[in-house]
Structure 1
Amino acid sequence: MFTYDKEKIKETFKKDIFPVLTERIRNAINKINNNGYVEIEEIRLRTNKPLMVYKNNEGYFVDEFGNLRKDNGLIVYQEEISKIYLLMCDYSLYSMEEDIKQGFLTIKGGHRVGIVGKVVSEAGKIKTIKNISSLNIRIAKEVKGCALELVKNIYFDGVKHTLIVSPPGCGKTTILRDIVRLLSNGVDQINLKGKKVAVVDERSEIACCYMGIPQKDVGIRTDVLDSCPKADGLMMLVRSMSPDVIAVDEIGGIKDADAIMDAINTGVKIISTAHGRDFDEILKRSGIRKLLENNCIDIIVFLSNRHGPGTVENIMRIN
């Protein structure tokens, strides 16, 4: 279970989140009782629908007085979404076009914003998204030390190929980020020296890069390849950065598995995550099944939200 630094999160909202919101929406969220906004995981803005926030995987409507409700709330207008979208892009849609065509933006502080609207295609490929109708602001929260006990438990005799599994919202990316930081810096408690770590951050969620620079602490020996497809990025990093460890998020397909196997054959250790609730569920993923069949996963860590995000339910040692 994670323990968040509330003062740090309050500062994050003031520096990163509130400046890109319109005054009416910002004021409503700021009025949530007892600085309750620090617990927010997502802010959902939909055209002509009530403002919503998600806390502990549960959604609430927010009214103009900051009350959290199960029905009704402050209506978000199209002009507000348009203004917020431009603020997030720093009034330069062109500079964000590569992210936009993938359906998200990364704003200052490393917070990821999902975008929905009219998709414009050209020659069968997505060119951009316009007429934005919905925005989903996912608050990137850093929890340093949350993976220390896990790292001491599974890497006391060296780093191993590791898969972290959980349903959405249970902390697997937060755990992965802290594992990267710990391996990069070294862990004195188990005499683990700092490793050269590389991250293929396809969705900008691990290091939370903004303008190519990690906004979260991923360690002093870590290199990040941001917004790069995993299958391409794995071998790019092997060839260019000679890492000891590579971390990737949300694997599952055969293409991911083939790239991971190629990297492992060079001597690199792979730490990855995947969506799933249990072993039977992840076996349905063709890529993960192939990795298991080829002895490319040594340890599987299963997380849940039972006692809050980051609850370790089970550690399965495969090899």
Structure 2
Amino acid sequence: MNTKDDLIKIFSLKLRTILGKLIIDYDKLQEIRLRMNAPLLIIYGNQEFFVTEDARLTDNPSKGVTITKNEIRETMEYISNYSLYAFEEEIKQGFITISGGHRIGIAGKIIIEDDVIKGMKHISFINIRLAHQVKGCADAVIPYILVNHRQGIYHTLIISPPRCGKTTMLRDIIRQLSNGNSKFAGMSVGVVDERSEIGACYMGTPQNELGIRTDILDCCPKAKGMLMLIRSMSPQIIAVDEIGSKEEIDAIDYVIGCGCKLIATVHGSSIEDIKSKPTLCELVHKRLFERYIILSNTKEVGHLEAIYDAEGKPLYSC
């Protein structure tokens, strides 16, 4: 089933008709946002557009088709196959992963008991983030993170602003290192996929190809997951997306101390930007990361700006 078929079937009948007539390249479609009493909005080619009743793109919000309460309700029924209860655990985390690996973010009234999130009701906001796997996008960086064919990889941090391809890059690095090739042996990779974005598991099965030697902990907090993988799966490499909390930094220290290599991503635009973050600056000062990969969208999403070593010496620049 192709991307368009995967997506169209989850929307209300009215939105399904409109989106089905929309003439776009689905490889460039990043997000579809439904907000009650607001215009239908998409992120396409890293730009924001509204969708009209006659299936055209416009930058004028007043011309966008208005999302009603019924459109939200009907769409959620299709997403959950008329059983939100079956997705209770996912809803507590604010998202549902569907076939194809696409992630449905949801927001509404949170139900809390004893400071614990028990569920959500009156869902009024839906964000469909499309899963894009770009095989080969890490070709240029792989030679810089490999020590050699026997000694594994350097501890690597991918730095990128939002929507600039860091998860896509991470995904392809994992796949290539796990599979190996004629130049280097495949390695055992453990992935902590807290938000189901890396492997995009659907009913336990990864929708994205992460390689033949990869194990995934899906919907697991990163700090706890890293420790679990070390104790149970003996990975040579651990990969996580969007690090930042003190607990995660402590877990990274433990992982590195155990001799396991680490690949992680973080929001930012430069090494200096990371140094300004209280929880991350210590990692930079300790030189725990041996490679820094900087991405941007200056030319295209996922554009490789530079690669630096632990001391900040440029190894590659565009």
The TM-score range, normalised by the shorter chain, is over 0.9
1:38 Cα deviation after fit = 4.1
Whole-Å separation in 2 of the counterparts to 1:39 and 1:142: 12
Task: Choose which of 225, 236, 242 in structure 1 pairs with 2:234.
Answer: 242
Q: Aligned ranges for residues 167-246 of structure 1 at < 5 Å? A: 167-188=161-182, 191-246=183-238
Output the aligned Cα RMSD. 1.4
Q: 1:126 aligned to 2:117? A: yes
In structure 1, what residue type is equivalent to 2:142? V
Gap runs ≥5 in structure 1: 1-9
Q: How much does 1:156 deviate? A: 5.4
2:299 matched residue in structure 1:
307
- Cα deviation code 1:51-88 (max 9, x no counterpart): 11111222111012211011221111111111111221
Report the counterpart of residue 4 of structure 1 in structure 2: none
CA pair 217-37 structure 1, distance change in 2 beyond 3 A:
closer
1:49 aligns with 2:38: yes
**Counterpart for residue 259 of structure 2:** 267
Question: Which contiguous aligned blocks of 4+ residues in structure 1 show a shift greater than 4 angstroms?
Answer: none
TM-aligned CA deviation for residue 37 of structure 1? 4.2
> Equivalents in 1 of 2:106, 2:196: separation in Å?
15
Partner amino acid, structure 2, of 1:182 = Q
Alignment coverage as a number of residue pairs? 306
Residue type of the alignment partner of 1:262: Y
Q: Which amino acid aligns with 2:163?
A: G
Of 296, 301, 305, which aligns to 2:288? Answer: 296
Question: Partners of 2:305 and 2:99 in 1: how far apart?
Answer: 34
Q: Secondary structure at the match of 2:143?
A: helix
CA distance in 1, matches of 2:243, 2:54: 42
- The amino acid across from 2:198 in the alignment is I
The amino acid that maps onto 1:99 is E
Of 262-271 and 36-45, deviating more is 36-45
SS in 2 for 1:260: helix
Determine the C-alpha separation between the residues in 1 that align with 2:10 and 2:55.
Answer: 18
Which residue is equivalent to 1:74?
65
2:15 to 25, 28, 32: 25
- Does structure 1 conserve the Cα–Cα contact (< 8 Å) formed by 2:102 and 2:200? yes
CA distance in 2, matches of 1:259, 1:187: 30
> Contact between 2:147 and 2:154, CA under 8 Å: does it hold in 1?
no
- Please state whether the residue corresponding to 1:313 is helix, strand or coil: strand
Instruction: After superposing the two structures, state which structure 1 stretch, 91-100 or 256-265, moved more.
Output: 91-100
Q: Distance in 1 between matches of 2:286 and 2:144?
A: 24
CA drift of 1:23 comes to 2.2
Deviations 1:109-132 (A, max 9, x none): 111111111111111121111111
Letter of the structure 2 residue corresponding to residue 152 of structure 1: P
Which whole-Å CA distance do the structure 1 matches of 2:261 and 2:147 have between them? Answer: 15
The structure with the greater share of residues assigned to helix is: 1
Give ranges in structure 2 of 5+ residues lacking alignment. Answer: 312-318
| Residue pair 2:199, 2:206 contacting (<8 A) in 1 also | yes
User: 2:292 is aligned with what amino acid?
Assistant: I
242-251 or 54-63: which moved more? Answer: 54-63
* Partner of residue 62 from structure 1, selected from 41, 44, 51: 51
Distance 1:38 1:252 in 2: 30
**Counterpart selection for 1:166 from 160, 167, 192:** 160
2:277 matches 1:277: no
Which structure has more RCO (C-alpha within 8 Å, separation ≥ 6)? Answer: 1
Q: Distance in 1 between matches of 2:227 and 2:145?
A: 26
Moved more, 170-179 or 92-101: 92-101
Q: Secondary structure at the match of 1:302?
A: strand
Matches of 1:148 and 1:215, distance apart in 2: 21
Does the aligned pair in 2 maintain the 1:29–1:37 contact within 8 Å? no
Give the match for residue 77 of structure 2: 86
Counterparts of 1:80 and 1:130 in 2: how far apart (Å)? 16
